[in-house]
């Protein structure tokens, strides 16, 4: 029998140590854990009661998109109650937005590695304090396509850095720590299989390059500054394509690395907004972009419904 432990709010619990989502021995000695950017704390909120039944976590850049995703899931899972009651759990802070609908959480992470990494530290601690188990976490987002038509959904096989390496480098105490960015292979394959059931969601699997900048860092010629020629841009994109890169975004490596260290099954599903071999500016009409952005949501919602046995 598993040991009986007391959790942070003093409730009896049998397998608090089973799901080791956190990798930090210092947390054990803290009386309270304040999740500052969520405006939540282990002393002021009953996290197991609020989040203990969560099975799927979806993160994405924009607060509005993550709100619509929560509303979409509410409708798709035919959950009881009114969609208007889907409230931002983090409304006490404007850093991130967080929604919970049934077993699904939807959280925004902002743009870029530092923003998503702060959010993930607090999210992973939240899931640990809430004693969640058997979770799958998805990043649903947008990206620039490499040799793919706009509107294609890319399921990430490997998240790679700007040198096409499957790793995330983090400076800690002045030293570089290198972490692997491998994602869950089975979840990726399952997503690809379900995508074939969605004719309006053209989907491929491929590597995703994560950069620390949208302009020069992604080889764009249209930033406020540019240090390379058009030929050099295409040479780099061609090299990326030949290495297996099919899209470019700004969070996948740290997302993959942190989830992997913390034993969370993770997948990245991003739609391409343009084909970078055809241009740099995102000139697609707004309504078409909105349609594209719903595609990763449709695929992940379909996956969740399948997993919950709501579809044959
Ligand atoms: C995709 O889109 C954003 C930049 O426009 C960034 O957060 C990303 O990864
Ligand atoms: N997001 C990115 O990071 N790059 C693109 O080209 C489009 C969206």
pLDDT tens-digit series, residues 53-87:
999 999 999 999 999 999 999 999 999 999 998 99
Task: Quickly name the fold that domain 1-134 has.
Answer: Rossmann fold (3.40.50)
Atom number, ligand 2, closest to the C-alpha of residue 220: 6
Burial group, residue 177, by CB count within 10 angstroms (0-12, 13-18, 19+)? exposed
Tokens 């406020």: give the residue. Answer: 224
**C-alpha closest to that of 126 among 36, 258, 63:** 36
Confidence of residue 2 (pLDDT cuts 50, 70, 90): very low
Q: Give the pLDDT confidence of 236-295 residue by residue, as tens digits.
A: 999 999 999 999 999 999 999 999 999 999 999 999 999 999 999 999 999 999 999 999
Rounded Cα gap, residues 194 and 270, in angstroms: 15
Q: Which residue's C-alpha comes closest to atom 1 of ligand 2? A: 143
- pTM score: 0.94
- Kindly give the distance from the C-alpha atom of residue 92 to the centroid of ligand 2, in angstroms, as a whole number: 30
Say yes or no: CB of residue 130 within 6 Å of ligand 1.
no
Confidence of residue 312 (pLDDT cuts 50, 70, 90): low
Atom number, ligand 2, closest to the C-alpha of residue 211: 3
Cα 303-64-304 angle, rounded to 5 deg:
10
Query: Which ligand is nearest the CA of 110, by number?
Result: 1
**Section 199-224 average pLDDT:** 98
- Are 185 and 166 a contacting pair, CB within 8 Å? no
Q: Which residue's C-alpha comes closest to atom 2 of ligand 1? A: 142
**C-alpha closest to that of 301 among 115, 85, 79:** 79
- Kindly give the distance from the C-alpha atom of residue 111 to the centroid of ligand 2, in angstroms, as a whole number: 10
- Residue ranges of the annotated binding site for substrate are 218, 220
Confidence of residue 311 (pLDDT cuts 50, 70, 90): confident
- By most ligand atoms within 8 Å of CB, the mutation choice from 65, 109, 115, 142 for ligand 2 is 142
- Residue ranges of the annotated binding site are 95, 139-142, 218, 220
3-state secondary structure of 278: coil
Question: How, if at all, do strands 104-108 and 56-60 pair?
Answer: parallel
For the cut 80, the answer to whether the pLDDT of residue 307 exceeds it is yes
Rounded Cα gap, residues 261 and 198, in angstroms: 32
Per domain, the residue ranges of the chain are: 1-134, 141-312
Pull the structure tokens for residue 271.
Answer: 């739609």
Rounded Cα gap, residues 94 and 112, in angstroms: 17
- By most ligand atoms within 8 Å of CB, the mutation choice from 273, 276, 295 for ligand 2 is 273
Query: Which ligand is nearest the CA of 215, by number?
Result: 2
- C-alpha dist (Å) from residue 53 to 133, 201, 215: 8, 29, 40
Rounded Cα gap, residues 219 and 245, in angstroms: 14
Pull the structure tokens for residue 171.
Answer: 């400076």
Atom number, ligand 1, closest to the C-alpha of residue 112: 7
Task: Quickly name the fold that domain 141-312 has.
Answer: Rossmann fold (3.40.50)
Cα radius of gyration (the chain) = 20
1-134 and 141-312: identical CATH topology:
yes
Q: Mean pLDDT in the chain?
A: 94
Cα 138-124-89 angle, rounded to 5 deg:
80
- Residue ranges of the annotated binding site for phosphate are 95, 139-142
């Amino acid at each position: 029998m598993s040991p009986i432990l007391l959790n942070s709010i003093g409730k009896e619990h049998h397998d608090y140590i089973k799901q080791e989502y956190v990798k930090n021995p210092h947390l054990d000695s803290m009386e309270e854990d304040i999740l500052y950017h969520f405006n939540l704390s282990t002393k002021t909120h009953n996290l197991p009661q609020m989040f203990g039944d969560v099975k799927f976590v979806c993160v994405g850049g924009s607060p509005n998109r993550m709100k619509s995703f929560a509303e979409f899931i509410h409708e798709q899972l035919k959950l009881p109650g009114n969609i208007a009651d889907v409230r931002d759990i983090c409304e006490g802070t404007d850093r991130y937005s967080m929604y919970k609908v049934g077993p699904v959480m939807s959280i925004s992470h902002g743009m870029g590695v530092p923003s998503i990494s702060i959010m993930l530290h607090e999210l992973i601690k939240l899931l640990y304090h809430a004693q969640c188990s058997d979770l799958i976490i998805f990043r649903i987002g947008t990206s620039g396509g490499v040799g793919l038509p706009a509107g294609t959904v890319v399921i990430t096989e490997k998240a790679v850095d700007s040198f096409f390496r499957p790793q995330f480098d983090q400076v800690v105490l002045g030293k570089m720590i290198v972490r692997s960015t491998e994602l869950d292979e089975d979840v990726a394959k399952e997503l690809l299989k379900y995508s074939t059931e969605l004719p309006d969601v053209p989907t491929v699997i491929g590597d995703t390059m994560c950069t620390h900048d949208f302009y020069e860092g992604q080889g764009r010629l249209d930033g406020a500054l540019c240090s390379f020629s058009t030929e050099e841009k295409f040479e780099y994109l061609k090299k990326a394509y030949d290495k297996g890169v099919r899209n470019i975004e700004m969070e996948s490596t740290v997302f993959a690395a942190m989830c992997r260290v913390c034993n969370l099954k993770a997948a990245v599903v991003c739609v391409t907004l343009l084909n970078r071999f055809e241009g740099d500016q995102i000139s697609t009409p707004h309504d078409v972009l909105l349609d594209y952005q719903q595609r990763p949501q449709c695929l992940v919602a379909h996956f969740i419904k399948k997993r919950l046995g709501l579809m044959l």
